[in-house]
């Protein structure tokens, strides 16, 4: 674990450092011409400082020391204690080259090849402002880079030999100039880098054009097919003409004057056939040649944006360590398949969902050390983060060996929060119950803490994966053994498989990842129940909606087909059937955004351009499901504000501090609550027992007469009051106090240090829903 950690971070550092080193190198050159460039000096100072810090983090202390010296020099230059002098450039370059060498050979013992201490001394001399000494140093230090280059990988090695050869020969005229020559050469050669940094915008523009080329190619193939048809026609014409011509030949008298014309026609028909045949051959060859090239072009240009998942994964060991510390748990993170490549855009989107899942695993999955010991599990929990490619998808699995998801607890929590009814809970399989965690705002945690449970639920993860990435999200859990989340993501955001359907005369694309099945049902199969239309599939009831109604499109005038085409979509444990006018087909589509003007459109995720150039909207599955469920009367939990259903919400605030009380009052009143207050726990309890009806109680802990914990306990042990959510807002942040809060039966625990309006309102709203 420790070993792994280090190497993962070093890799990240190497990537990062390359950028800074490049900038510093360029900076030195610019400074030579413009030694007082304040902005540049500041930037170089920052870069040196960052290098110092990050190299220290990954344990590359030599680099850190060198960077530290560079930083010293830059500080003096910035503060005007000394001026950048072109004679310093050599020392700078030497230092930067040394860092490059040390970085590339991180983890190896290179003390034989590079003399860091003497380099540090020279840099110190520069910093102390003794230029005379400095200017003499480079020649004597010149052999320094040479042996270091010799130790570098193959290409460098040959280069080093080249540079070392002319050296003895040139040594004769003057030792001063000779070493300078190869050094320059070497520098020029190292400039031919293996990588080029390109703005993603430029890559995107390129990809955009490539997809246009692909579309043109598809059209060209279509034209080749059309041409083949025309050529066949010309051939038929020729054959028919031949027969006519042959029979006419016996009847010369009748043809008479027209015979000249017949001759011309004969020539023309023959010529037409030959030309068509020739053209078809040329064109087909051309198209098939181009199609190979275009396919390669597409593949390679897509590859430009591919990056290894390690670029994201590498930050997780640290994140998990921090989380583990926060929750007082022991966790090992094992990463597998870090070199699996993914589209950069996907990578950017995947970081947050992964963090949520990790957080969830550390908070809810992995048990506390004592508990694990009791259960006979290893004290240290393990979280495994693995990526692999499966066909045109990437599968990322996050598994923990923790407590697993308890279906009974999930069902109970879901019933309590009103997502499902008691009877629905009973008929629900364990597997279905597990998926309830993806409901908006769902949390099984007995208490809401600021880390998990607050707005960063699994619903967010689901939306990211399904909505933004057009992938799917599965969870598998064995109580007592652990939980595995499986994210299936398309390789690239640019291309997905989609089902094309026709609705109200227009074609729409639905990502196949969320489609369960496509059916053609007999109208007789549609059951009307409680004003809703449903169908039965595999002993389950699936509500039906017209896709056109969800999209707000007019009904198509055309006669309805005998069999109704239905697309069923499964999304976080819910299934819904969407009636469409026709299935058009299934194919790979290139996803494009709606442009800079239409930032977000309900139900529409983007568009694609089909072969013939027509634009087809791609539907957004989570939006469709939410809107469809609203239409079928079964509302999605989060979308309905309680205020609309049962009048203003009421909240009781127990707080002895006048300021805090009034602050909380104003927050709740601004959000439309009716606020009752009490100056201590006892007064609050009296009000409640006196029949005050509230939707939630927000209480401080330290209050005279009765503390918040005592109040909570009293509320939770009173049958008439125990269903009222209690939110503790306190400055007590220690775990023991939090534990006491949980113990007392509080539903949420918000520390004042993270207290803000949104936190408080979100928490309360989620609890009283």
Asked if residues 137 and 152 have their Cβ atoms less than 8 Å apart, the reply is no
Residue among 644, 638, 649 at smallest CA distance from 724: 649
Shortest Cβ distance from residue 205 to another protein (Å)?
Answer: 9
Shortest Cβ distance from residue 603 to another protein (Å)?
Answer: 5
Contact string (CB under 8 A) for another protein, positions 69-108, x = contact? ----------------------------------------
Q: Indicate if the alpha-carbon torsion angle 89, 95, 96, 100 is positive or negative.
A: positive
Task: Give the three-state DSSP class for 381.
Answer: strand
* Residue closer to another protein, measured from CB, 115 or 762: 762
Whole-number Å distance between alpha carbons of 763 and 698:
10
Shortest Cβ distance from residue 219 to another protein (Å)?
Answer: 13
Q: Indicate if the alpha-carbon torsion angle 752, 758, 764, 766 is positive or negative.
A: negative
Shortest Cβ distance from residue 552 to another protein (Å)?
Answer: 6
* Residue closer to another protein, measured from CB, 41 or 607: 607
* Residue closer to another protein, measured from CB, 109 or 557: 557
* Residue closer to another protein, measured from CB, 279 or 302: 302
Adjacency order of strands within the sheet including 515-521: 515-521, 564-571, 574-579, 540-546, 532-537, 527-529
Whole-number Å distance between alpha carbons of 577 and 565:
10
Assign 3-class secondary structure to 317-361.
Answer: HHHHHHHHHHCCCCEEEEEECCCCEEEHHHHHHHHHHHHHHHHHH
Shortest Cβ distance from residue 670 to another protein (Å)?
Answer: 19
* Residue closer to another protein, measured from CB, 615 or 643: 615
Q: Which one of the spans 323-331, 375-383, 551-559, 659-667 is the region binding another protein (CB under 8 A)?
A: 551-559
Residue with tokens 């947050």: 352
Rounded to a whole number, what is the distance in angstroms from the first to the last CA of the chain?
43
Shortest Cβ distance from residue 546 to another protein (Å)?
Answer: 13
Contact string (CB under 8 A) for another protein, positions 187-226, x = contact? ---------------------xx-xx--x-----------
* Residue closer to another protein, measured from CB, 258 or 601: 601
Q: Per CB under 8 A, does 375 bind another protein?
A: no
Q: Per CB under 8 A, does 174 bind another protein?
A: no
Q: Per CB under 8 A, does 552 bind another protein?
A: yes
* Residue closer to another protein, measured from CB, 603 or 699: 603
Footprint of another protein on residues 616-645 (CB under 8 A)? 616-617
Assign 3-class secondary structure to 500-520.
Answer: EEEECCEEEEEEHHHEEEEEE
Task: Give the three-state DSSP class for 394.
Answer: strand
Asked if residues 578 and 567 have their Cβ atoms less than 8 Å apart, the reply is yes
Whole-number Å distance between alpha carbons of 741 and 715:
13
DSSP state for residue 257 in the 8-state scheme: G
* 75-94: burial string, b at 16+ Cβ within 10 Å, e else: bbbeeeebebbeebebbbbb
Contact string (CB under 8 A) for another protein, positions 451-490, x = contact? ----------------------------------------
Shortest Cβ distance from residue 596 to another protein (Å)?
Answer: 5
Shortest Cβ distance from residue 765 to another protein (Å)?
Answer: 19
Footprint of another protein on residues 393-422 (CB under 8 A)? none
Adjacency order of strands within the sheet including 506-511: 582-590, 495-503, 506-511, 615-619, 604-609
Shortest Cβ distance from residue 626 to another protein (Å)?
Answer: 13
Length of the chain: 769
Asked if residues 724 and 687 have their Cβ atoms less than 8 Å apart, the reply is no
Shortest Cβ distance from residue 762 to another protein (Å)?
Answer: 18
Asked if residues 31 and 41 have their Cβ atoms less than 8 Å apart, the reply is yes
Shortest Cβ distance from residue 278 to another protein (Å)?
Answer: 32
Residue among 386, 319, 313 at smallest CA distance from 359: 319
Whole-number Å distance between alpha carbons of 407 and 401:
17
Give the containing element (helix H, strand E) for 546. Answer: strand 540-546
Residue with tokens 């597990």: 434
Residue 353: how many CA atoms within 13 Å on its side-chain side?
Answer: 30
Shortest Cβ distance from residue 153 to another protein (Å)?
Answer: 41
Strands (E), 130-191: none
Contact string (CB under 8 A) for another protein, positions 581-620, x = contact? -----------xxxxxxxxxxxxx--x-x---xxxxx---
* Residue closer to another protein, measured from CB, 597 or 734: 597
Asked if residues 402 and 360 have their Cβ atoms less than 8 Å apart, the reply is no
* Residue closer to another protein, measured from CB, 152 or 618: 618
Asked if residues 313 and 385 have their Cβ atoms less than 8 Å apart, the reply is yes
* Residue closer to another protein, measured from CB, 614 or 735: 614
Q: Given phi > 0 = left and psi -120 to 50 = alpha, else beta, which region is 665?
A: alpha
Give the containing element (helix H, strand E) for 44. Answer: helix 38-57
Which residue(s) pair with 533 in the sheet?
Answer: 528, 544
Contact string (CB under 8 A) for another protein, positions 665-704, x = contact? ----------------------------------------
Shortest Cβ distance from residue 436 to another protein (Å)?
Answer: 26
Q: Which residues contact 502 (CB under 8 A, 6 or more apart)?
A: 508, 580, 581, 582, 583, 584
Footprint of another protein on residues 497-536 (CB under 8 A)? 506
Shortest Cβ distance from residue 200 to another protein (Å)?
Answer: 16
Shortest Cβ distance from residue 547 to another protein (Å)?
Answer: 10
Q: Which residues contact 187 (CB under 8 A, 6 or more apart)?
A: 93
* Residue closer to another protein, measured from CB, 96 or 591: 591
Among 74, 361, 433, 551, binds another protein (CB under 8 A): 551
Shortest Cβ distance from residue 705 to another protein (Å)?
Answer: 46
* Residue closer to another protein, measured from CB, 480 or 585: 585
* Residue closer to another protein, measured from CB, 262 or 507: 507
* Residue closer to another protein, measured from CB, 212 or 758: 212
* Residue closer to another protein, measured from CB, 212 or 669: 212
* Residue closer to another protein, measured from CB, 206 or 279: 206
Site size toward another protein (CB under 8 A) is 29
Binding site for another protein (CB under 8 A): 208-209, 211-212, 215, 506, 551-553, 592-604, 607, 609, 613-617
């Amino acid at each position: 674990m420790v070993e792994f950690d280090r190497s993962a971070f070093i890799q990240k550092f190497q990537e990062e450092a390359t950028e800074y080193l490049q900038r510093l190198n360029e900076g030195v050159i610019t400074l030579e011409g413009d030694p007082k460039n304040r902005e540049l000096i500041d930037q170089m100072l920052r870069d040196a400082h960052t290098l110092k810090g990050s190299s220290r983090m990954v344990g590359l202390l030599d680099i850190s020391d060198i960077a530290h010296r560079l930083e010293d020099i830059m500080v003096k230059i910035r503060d005007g204690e000394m001026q950048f002098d072109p004679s310093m450039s050599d020392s700078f370059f030497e230092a930067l080259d040394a860092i490059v060498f040390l970085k590339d050979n991180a983890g190896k013992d290179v003390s034989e090849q590079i003399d860091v201490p003497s380099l540090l001394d020279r840099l110190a001399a520069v910093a102390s402002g003794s230029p005379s000494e400095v200017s003499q140093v480079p020649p004597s230090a010149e052999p320094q880079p040479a042996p270091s280059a010799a130790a570098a990988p193959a290409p460098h090695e040959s280069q080093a030999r080249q540079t070392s050869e002319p050296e003895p020969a040139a040594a004769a005229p003057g030792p001063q100039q000779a070493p300078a020559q190869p050094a320059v050469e070497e520098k020029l050669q190292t400039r031919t880098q293996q990588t080029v940094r390109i703005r993603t915008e430029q890559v995107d523009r390129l990809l955009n054009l490539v997809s246009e080329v692909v579309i043109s190619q598809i059209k060209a193939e279509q034209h080749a097919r059309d041409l083949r048809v025309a050529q066949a026609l010309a051939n038929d014409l020729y054959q028919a003409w031949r027969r006519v011509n042959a029979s006419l030949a016996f009847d010369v008298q009748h043809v008479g004057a027209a015979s000249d014309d017949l001759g011309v026609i004969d020539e023309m028909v023959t010529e037409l056939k030959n030309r068509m045949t020739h053209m078809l051959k040329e064109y087909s060859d051309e198209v098939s040649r181009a199609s190979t090239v275009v396919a390669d072009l597409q593949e390679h240009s897509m590859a430009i944006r591919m990056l290894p998942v390690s670029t994201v994964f590498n930050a997780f060991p640290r994140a998990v360590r921090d989380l583990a510390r926060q929750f007082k748990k022991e966790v090992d993170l094992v990463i597998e398949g870090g070199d699996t490549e993914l589209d950069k855009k996907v990578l950017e989107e995947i970081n947050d969902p992964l963090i949520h899942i990790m957080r969830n695993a550390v908070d809810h999955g992995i048990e506390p050390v004592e508990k694990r010991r009791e259960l006979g599990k290893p004290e240290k929990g393990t979280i495994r983060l693995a990526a692999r490619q499966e066909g045109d998808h990437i599968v990322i699995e996050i598994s923990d060996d923790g407590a697993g998801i308890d279906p009974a607890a999930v069902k109970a929590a879901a019933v309590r929060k009103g997502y499902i009814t008691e009877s629905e809970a009973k008929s629900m399989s364990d597997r279905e119950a597990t998926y309830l965690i993806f409901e908006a705002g769902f949390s099984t945690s007995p208490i809401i803490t600021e880390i998990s449970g607050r707005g960063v639920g699994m619903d967010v993860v689901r939306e990211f994966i399904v909505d933004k990435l057009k992938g799917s999200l599965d969870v598998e859990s064995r109580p007592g053994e652990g939980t595995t989340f499986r994210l299936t993501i398309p390789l690239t955001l640019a291309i997905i498989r989609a089902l094309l359907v026709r609705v109200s005369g227009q074609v729409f694309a639905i990502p196949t990842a969320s489609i369960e099945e496509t059916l053609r049902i007999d109208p007789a199969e549609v059951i009307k129940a409680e004003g809703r239309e449903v169908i039965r599939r595999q002993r389950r009831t699936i509500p039906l909606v017209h896709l056109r109604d969800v999209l707000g499109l007019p009904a198509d005038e055309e006669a309805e087909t005998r069999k109704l085409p239905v697309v069923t979509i499964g999304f976080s444990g819910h299934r819904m059937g969407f009636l469409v006018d026709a299935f058009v087909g299934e194919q790979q589509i290139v996803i494009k955004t709606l442009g800079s003007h239409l930032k977000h459109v309900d139900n529409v995720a983007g568009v694609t351009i089909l072969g013939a150039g027509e634009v087809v909207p791609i539907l957004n599955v989570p939006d469709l499901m939410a809107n469809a469920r609203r239409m079928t009367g079964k509302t999605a939990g989060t979308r309905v504000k309680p205020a609309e259903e049962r009048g203003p919400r009421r909240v009781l605030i127990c707080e002895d501090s006048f300021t805090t009380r009034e602050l909380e009052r104003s927050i709740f009143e601004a959000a439309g609550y009716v606020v009752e207050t009490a100056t201590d726990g006892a007064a609050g309890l009296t009000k409640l027992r006196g029949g005050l009806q509230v939707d939630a109680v927000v209480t401080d802990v330290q209050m005279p007469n009765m503390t918040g914990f005592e109040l909570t306990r009293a509320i939770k042990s009173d049958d008439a009051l125990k269903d009222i959510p209690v939110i503790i807002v306190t400055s007590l942040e220690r775990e023991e106090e939090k534990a006491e809060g949980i113990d007392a039966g509080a539903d949420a625990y918000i520390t004042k240090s993270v207290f803000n309006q949104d936190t408080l309102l979100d928490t309360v709203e989620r609890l009283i829903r």
